[in-house]
């Protein structure tokens, strides 16, 4: 297992290099520049600004300088936010996105496991149909519809919860964003668990467990559920990475100062360094979480061996 982990980490280096290279040149190829504003800057001022940020150098030189700094963990200053570095923007936005993301994926996993198990155990009954109907609802109704409805009902009409803003991360400010972000994940997880559980419940070792006199509760929890969540483990790696780096829709609806909002704002304003920093963070999370998912997969299924 240790050799497999080391090998994966070594593979991650050229992967990150390739992602960084593609993102760098794609951002530079996009039309416009960070200094295109409604009022045209005088040529000498624009020239001085580009010289200050090193944008007057040949593109390949800029690329080499960026790589050297990025290896040291220095993603440079923001080109649009005055007196702010990319590291500072990420350190401010990432805790907000991480709080919302971890809360939503945790809630979705718990509820999805329960609903998926109920649907599988009571296959083709009213409980199964109800869970699948709820799952289809969660998948089909997008977050940009769910969020405003929650704000309208619970924030404005009933005034039970704050309609927007971060509020320092207090519980009442988290409830609606977390529910909005968790709903589609609950739907997907419940469907994955149901599909896995239905297949496992028909297997020979489940029949053997029942023949030994184990209760249905023991059969489900100790045997069936462990095998049924294997597809879920594979799904959670990229899903968690996506949620941790922020959701533009949810952050925009609830006015949260998260990383997703900074990323899209940076892309719209051609803030190259901010976009690059978030892309590298997202890629690193994807690689790390997929590795963790593979390790968990082998722990849950003894038949899986990594050499």
pLDDT for 37 equals 61
Residue 100 domain flag: yes
Cβ-in-10-Å burial (0-12, 13-18, 19+) of 271 comes to buried
Domains identified in the chain, total number: 1
Residue 224 domain flag: yes
Residue 289 domain flag: no
* Beta carbons within 8 Å of 93's beta carbon, 6+ residues apart: 246, 257, 258, 259, 261, 262
Q: Where in the sequence is the domain holding 178, given as residue range(s)?
A: 88-256
| CATH number, position 95 | 1.10.3720.10
Residue 108 domain flag: yes
CA 122 – CA 205 distance, rounded (Å): 19
Residue-by-residue pLDDT tens, the chain, 307 positions: 777 778 888 888 899 999 999 989 988 887 777 776 656 667 777 788 778 888 888 889 999 999 998 888 888 888 877 788 899 998 988 899 889 989 999 999 999 989 988 888 888 899 889 988 988 888 888 888 888 999 999 988 888 888 888 888 888 999 999 999 999 999 999 998 888 888 887 778 777 877 877 777 777 777 777 777 878 888 888 888 878 776 778 888 888 888 888 888 888 888 888 889 988 988 888 888 888 887 887 777 666 565 5
CA 306 – CA 102 distance, rounded (Å): 28
Using the CB atoms, write b or e for 205-231: b if 16+ within 10 Å: ebeebeeeeeeeeebbeebbbebbbbb
CB distance 269 to 80 below 8 Å: yes
Q: Do you know the residue count of the chain?
A: 307
Residue 265 domain flag: no
CB distance 259 to 97 below 8 Å: yes
Residue with tokens 């007196």: 83
Residue 131 domain flag: yes
Residue 35 domain flag: no
| Residue 132: its H or E element | helix 126-140
Residue 185 domain flag: yes
């Amino acid at each position: 297992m240790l050799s497999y982990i080391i090998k994966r980490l070594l593979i991650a280096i050229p992967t990150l290099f390739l992602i960084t290279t593609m993102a760098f040149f794609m951002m530079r190829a996009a039309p416009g520049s960070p200094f295109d504003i409604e009022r045209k800057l005088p040529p000498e001022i624009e020239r001085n600004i580009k010289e200050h940020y090193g944008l007057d150098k040949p593109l390949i030189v800029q690329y080499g300088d960026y790589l050297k700094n990025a290896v040291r963990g220095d993603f440079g200053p923001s080109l649009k936010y005055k007196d702010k570095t990319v590291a500072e923007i990420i350190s401010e936005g990432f805790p907000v996105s991480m709080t919302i993301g971890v809360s939503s994926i945790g809630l979705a996993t718990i509820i999805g496991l329960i609903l998926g198990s109920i649907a599988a155990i009571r296959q083709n009954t009213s409980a199964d149909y109800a869970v699948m109907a709820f799952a289809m609802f969660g998948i089909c109704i997008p977050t940009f519809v769910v969020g405003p409805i929650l704000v309208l009902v619970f924030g404005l009409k009933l005034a039970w919860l704050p309609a927007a803003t971060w509020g320092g991360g207090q519980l009442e400010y988290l409830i609606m964003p977390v529910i909005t972000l968790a709903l589609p994940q609950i739907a997907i997880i419940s469907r994955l668990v149901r599909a896995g559980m239905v297949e496992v419940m028909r297997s020979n070792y489940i029949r053997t467990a029942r023949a030994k006199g184990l209760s249905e509760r023991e059969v489900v929890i100790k045997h069936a559920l462990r095998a049924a969540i294997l597809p879920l483990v594979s799904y959670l790696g990229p899903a968690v990475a996506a949620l941790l780096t922020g959701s533009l829709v949810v952050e925009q609806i609830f006015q949260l100062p998260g990383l997703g909002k900074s990323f899209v704002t940076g892309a719209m304003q051609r803030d190259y360094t901010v976009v690059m920093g978030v892309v590298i963070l997202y890629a690193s999370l994807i690689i790390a979480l997929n590795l963790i998912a593979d390790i968990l997969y082998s722990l849950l299924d003894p038949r899986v061996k990594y050499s």
